[in-house]
């Protein structure tokens, strides 16, 4: 169908294309580096582009250099602020600031960007009190993602499963085996979402992510509800680390577990075998499966490890996770070939190892579909830049300044999920801010394509997001302001000014037509229009920056 839609596009859309705006495709090496950094970091900076230039624009070498950097962790930022008495307690706002800090300023930008992508797949959210009230728990969870970003998918899935914040969010913390006397049975929540969202997905897939089979015109489902029930039995028995196994509680149901006080929000949950279902269990069956069932009497952690292996090695997992990561980093509608190439790297990193995330990241970022300039003019290529990234890309491009001193990376109450439609680790549910198959009504849906980020582009966020950008450019927003002095210094020449911002914000892809519109506005500013306290040059720089960030050219990362 994709092929057909493209064909019809050429036949019928062709005449229309003649009058449409198309990205600039003549990118300098620096501009190409900027484009790469927009996919791989929280935003290109002049310095980061220079670093790539010094590396001879060797992206592979840059990735290797990034992989070698230690992780810049968030939880230590808040705990240090607490221990030095800069703050008196750790609340949700402090965790958010700590994560903002490491994401936006961390030297390990690729790791941060990948962890942020993972946070939109292995979702927990601080919009529930069990997360927001859990001291530095949510930052600890993000740190766990950081530490696994360049590791293996298997370890990542295991650490996600055992993290006490995931235990709270998907409620397998203190999940008990069935109790025939009270009629209770294991909680299915984690089992279901772990399969549907974190590993194999709903439908049986080919290695390139296409549906592998149809029955009655519908894709074959990858598992049944009975299999969820089996996995739910696997994920029983988890409780806090450091508990006293003899201190059995006196409550009923969930509460009848040992516990520590205060609860442990950062260390992996511990398996308490007394509440683990030790019966035999059926796992997923597929060609080459090593253990399609678990014998009775295994320890809880043996069950969990075997079940994780069963999911990791499932043929769906490589294409399913690969596609999600491509969508987060590069493009909403990757070709089957692109998904297939990344999934192949997932299956085998070249040294016979499965799930090597560095190999996966390299396959995503170095693929021709991510790098080749020919895709710039493909009407289906690219992704709507996420609102949070529209903010961070602007901040980093224009040398943000901070006004606060204690945990100063503070977006306050102005730049939040309420004005962006998203904020890291604050999605409405485990289904993230948008679904990977969301089809915005209109030309994208008509072309049978998806645009996940469009799910949060509406008449509310379509205004409030640009307003945040406007405030950053013209005054300040919460704890941030921009340094546009370098742009003001070159603003007497409108062309030079726009080219500079094009390099940093639109990576040389700003269309000739949009450039012309922006030049007209910049050149249309008379001295009489300059606000008091400003200069003509700064006013011109602000005009150019604002019009670029509100332009479709910037909104869609191609």
Partner 1 sequence: MSSSSSRSLTRREFIGQASCAGVGSTALFSTLLTLRLANSLSAQTAGTNGDYRALVCLFLAGGNDSFNMLVPTTGGEYEAYAKVRGNLAIAKETLLSITPGNLGGRTLGIHPSMTEVRDLFTTGRLAFVSNVGSLVRPTTLADVKAGRHLPLSLYSHADQIKQWQTCIPDQRTAIGWGGRAADIIKSLNAPSQVSMNISLSGQSVFLAGQQAFTYAVGSSGATALTGYSPTAANNLTATRSKGVQNLVDQSYRNLLEQTYADSTRDAIDSYYEFSSAIGTSTLTTPTPTGNSLANNLAMIARIIAANGRFGARRQIFFVQLGGWDHHDEVIDNQLTMLRTVSQAVGFFNAALNETGYADRVTLFTASDFGRTLTSNGNGSDHAWGGNHLVMGGAVGGGKVYGDAAAGHYPDLQNLAAIDTGQGRLIPGVAVDEYARDLLTWFGVTAGDLDYVLPAFSSRFGGRPSLGLFSPPATTPGTPTTPTTPTTPSTPSAPSTGGGGGGGGGGGAASPIFLGALGALALARLRQKRQERIRAEQAAKPQD
Q: What part of residues 479-518 is at the interface with partner 1 (CB under 8 A)?
A: 513-514, 517-518
| Residue in 140, 227, 335, 455 binding partner 1, rule: CB under 8 A | 455
Peptide linkage before 406 cis (omega within 30 of 0): no
C-beta closer to partner 1: residue 402 or 550 = 550
CA 77 – CA 82 distance, rounded (Å): 9
| Residue in 437, 483, 492, 512 binding partner 1, rule: CB under 8 A | 437
Strands 383-384 and 293-294: unpaired
C-beta closer to partner 1: residue 244 or 520 = 520
Least distance in angstroms from the C-beta of 130 to partner 1: 8
C-beta closer to partner 1: residue 188 or 369 = 188
4 binds partner 1 (CB under 8 A): yes
| Residue in 28, 299, 413, 448 binding partner 1, rule: CB under 8 A | 448
| Binding string, residues 312-341; x marks residues near partner 1 by CB under 8 A | --------------------x---------
- Cβ atoms of 75 and 96 within 8 Å: the answer is no
CA 465 – CA 383 distance, rounded (Å): 17
Considering only residues 132-171, where is the footprint of partner 1 by CB under 8 A? 170-171
| Residue in 132, 147, 302, 377 binding partner 1, rule: CB under 8 A | 377
User: What tokens appear for 486 in the block?
Assistant: 């370098």
Q: Tell me the angle at which helices 317-329 and 336-347 cross, rounded to the nearest 10 degrees.
A: 120
Q: Where would I find the beta strands (DSSP E) of 204-329? A: 214-215, 218-219, 238-239, 270-271, 281-282, 293-294
Least distance in angstroms from the C-beta of 356 to partner 1: 29
Least distance in angstroms from the C-beta of 506 to partner 1: 11
Peptide linkage before 156 cis (omega within 30 of 0): no
Least distance in angstroms from the C-beta of 428 to partner 1: 5
Q: DSSP per residue over 113-141, as a string?
A: HHHHHHHTTS---TTSHHHHTSTTHHHHH
Least distance in angstroms from the C-beta of 95 to partner 1: 20
For 252, the 3-state DSSP assignment is coil
Considering only residues 43-72, where is the footprint of partner 1 by CB under 8 A? none
CA 381 – CA 370 distance, rounded (Å): 9
| Binding string, residues 100-139; x marks residues near partner 1 by CB under 8 A | ----------------------------x-----------
466 binds partner 1 (CB under 8 A): yes
Interacting span for partner 1 (CB under 8 A) from 36-44, 103-111, 113-121, 422-430: 422-430
Residue 206: phi and psi, rounded to 5, are -80, 170
| Binding string, residues 190-219; x marks residues near partner 1 by CB under 8 A | --x---x-----x-----------xxxxx-
175 binds partner 1 (CB under 8 A): yes
Residue (of 17, 22, 12) closest to 556 by Cα position: 22
Give residue for tokens 């501009």: 31
| Residue in 458, 493, 496, 535 binding partner 1, rule: CB under 8 A | 458
- Cβ atoms of 339 and 301 within 8 Å: the answer is no
Buried b (16+ CB within 10 A) or exposed e, 545-558: bbbbbbbebbbbbb
Least distance in angstroms from the C-beta of 112 to partner 1: 25
119 alpha carbon, distance to own chain's centre: 5
180 binds partner 1 (CB under 8 A): no
413 binds partner 1 (CB under 8 A): no
C-beta closer to partner 1: residue 282 or 471 = 471
Which residues have a Cβ under 8 Å from the Cβ of 297 and sit 6 or more positions away? 278
252 binds partner 1 (CB under 8 A): yes
Interacting span for partner 1 (CB under 8 A) from 49-57, 320-328, 396-404, 453-461: 453-461
> HSE (CB half, 13 Å, CA atoms) of 169?
30
302 binds partner 1 (CB under 8 A): no
User: What tokens appear for 79 in the block?
Assistant: 């705990």
| Residue in 381, 393, 396, 507 binding partner 1, rule: CB under 8 A | 381
């Amino acid at each position: 169908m994709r092929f057909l839609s493209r064909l019809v596009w050429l036949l019928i859309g062709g005449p229309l294309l003649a009058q449409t705006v198309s990205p600039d495709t003549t990118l300098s090496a620096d501009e190409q580096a900027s484009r790469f950094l927009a996919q791989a970091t929280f935003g290109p900076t002049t310095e980061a582009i220079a670093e790539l230039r010094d590396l001879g624009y060797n992206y592979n070498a840059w990735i290797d250099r990034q992989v070698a950097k230690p992780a810049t962790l968030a939880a230590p930022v808040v705990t240090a602020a607490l221990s030095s008495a800069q703050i008196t307690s750790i609340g949700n706002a402090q965790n958010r600031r700590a994560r903002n800090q490491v994401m936006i300023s961390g030297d390990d930008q690729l790791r941060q960007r990948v962890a942020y992508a993972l946070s939109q797949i292995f979702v927990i959210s601080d919009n529930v009190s069990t997360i927001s009230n859990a001291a530095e728990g949510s930052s600890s969870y993000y740190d766990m993602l950081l530490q696994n970003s360049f590791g293996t998918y298997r370890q990542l899935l295991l650490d996600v499963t055992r993290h006490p914040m995931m235990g709270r969010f998907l409620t397998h913390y203190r999940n008990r085996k069935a109790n025939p006397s009270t009629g209770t049975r294991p909680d299915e929540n984690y089992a279901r979402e772990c399969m549907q969202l974190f590993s194999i997905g709903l439908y049986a897939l080919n290695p390139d992510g296409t549906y592998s089979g149809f029955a009655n015109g519908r894709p074959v489902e990858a598992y049944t509800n009975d299999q969820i029930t089996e996995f739910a039995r696997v994920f029983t028995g988890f409780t806090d680390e450091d508990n006293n196994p003899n201190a059995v509680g006196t409550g009923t149901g969930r509460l009848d577990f040992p516990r520590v006080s205060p609860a442990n929000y950062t260390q992996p949950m511990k398996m308490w075998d007394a509440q683990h279902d030790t019966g035999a269990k059926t796992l997923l069956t597929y060609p080459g499966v090593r253990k399609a069932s678990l014998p009775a009497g295994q320890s809880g952690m043996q069950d969990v490890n075997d079940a994780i292996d069963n999911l990791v090695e499932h043929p769906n997992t490589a294409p399913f996770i690969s596609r999600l990561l491509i969508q987060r980093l590069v493009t909403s509608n990757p070709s089957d070939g692109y998904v297939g190439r990344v999934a192949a790297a997932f299956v085998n990193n070249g040294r016979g190892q499965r799930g090597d995330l560095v190999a996966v990241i390299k396959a995503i970022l170095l693929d021709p579909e991510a790098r080749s300039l020919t895709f710039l003019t493909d009407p289906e290529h690219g992704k709507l830049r996420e609102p949070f990234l529209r903010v961070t890309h602007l901040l980093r491009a224009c040398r943000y300044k901070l006004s606060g001193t204690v945990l100063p990376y503070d977006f306050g109450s102005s730049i939040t999920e309420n004005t962006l439609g998203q904020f890291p680790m604050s999605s409405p549910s485990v289904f993230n801010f948008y679904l990977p198959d969301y089809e915005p009504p209109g030309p994208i849906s008509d072309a049978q394509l998806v645009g996940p980020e469009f799910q949060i582009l509406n008449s509310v966020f379509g205004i409030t997001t640009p307003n945040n950008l406007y405030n950053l450019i013209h005054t300040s927003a919460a704890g941030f302001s921009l340094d546009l002095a370098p742009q003001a210094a070159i603003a007497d020449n409108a062309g030079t000014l726009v080219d500079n911002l094009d390099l940093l914000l639109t990576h040389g892809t700003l269309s000739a037509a949009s450039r012309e519109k922006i030049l007209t506005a910049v050149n249309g500013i008379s001295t009489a229009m300059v606000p008091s306290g400003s200069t003509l040059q700064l006013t011109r720089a602000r005009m150019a920056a604002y019009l670029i960030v509100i332009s479709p050219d910037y909104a869609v990362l191609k």
